[in-house]
Structure 1
């Protein structure tokens, strides 16, 4: 089954709680939370207090994507805030294997994200120990960007490694996904789809999620 993980970076911040309840009601599978520090990416977003506050209003799993430098410093804090999956960027952590094991020591899922130009080969030996790989199909930092076409091939590469080393591993793709390309992304091997603008546009969460599922 393909999972839809709406990115609340595209939600209406003035009524974030209402939007999250709508995601729960209208069939989202995960809530994707982009954490940005203004250093690893040129933007600043959600922090730990926000995650703690919204944790109280939904039982949907929190898919916390850390776009921050030295993420290992904050793993415990995000676990305590309510993260169910923590994703760290290969490019942001000098000791990625240690960080993955640290995340898993809390009994939650661990994932690694790769920027568009980062080669899949870099994480080959991590695959057996990962719960998920996140393929960034835009350059991280801002919502609403256009999907980078060469990422279809990257998804296929990850799927090949997953088939060989870890069939239970999820393959998530984030960036520029909508009705026009979600089917091709899934056919390439993805089974978790992050969608921001495509879910929250026109304030029609119900129909947008339904529309995305209808294309898969």
Structure 2
């Protein structure tokens, strides 16, 4: 049996909605996000063997209804949290819009080894972290794995699967500059047949059009 992995972006968070945040890991879902998570759970039509979340609260809240529905399925926490390229100190009392100039400077520098500040990680470290999770998928005995993760993570997964380029992080970061602008909706699903690396389109068919957010 082929191993299948569903990568799911978290539902709408207060950060996505433009509200003030205090830390990258502690950003919760909005009420709309909780509704998106409920619809995601109700619409999923495959029995999972393993449910994975990141350590960030927005993936755990997105997975809450899902884990209640599939209550006998094992849950693990893997290092698939969002790429924190800005220091967590930047998040205290700021909105995404207020952090945008700092974010744009980071990407303009295009330095895969740059660590922007205390608690941040470099692009090279981000790539290595996601590669580590690929190895965990390879080693997992389960066949149907559902992973709740983040937008920048899904974009990197897409790029790595499309280019098969893992090690030259300077070139990879240049390519990622375009990929990070690729729209990834809240609570969307990326399905990958892991053995063949056949990928689906990003799926939001479980969501009414008026509830789709980014």
Instruction: Considering fraction of residues, name the structure with more strand.
Output: 1
Output the TM-score relative to the length of structure 2.
0.28
Q: Does 1 or 2 have the higher relative contact order (CA < 8 Å, sep 6+)?
A: 2
Output the TM-score relative to the length of structure 1.
0.28
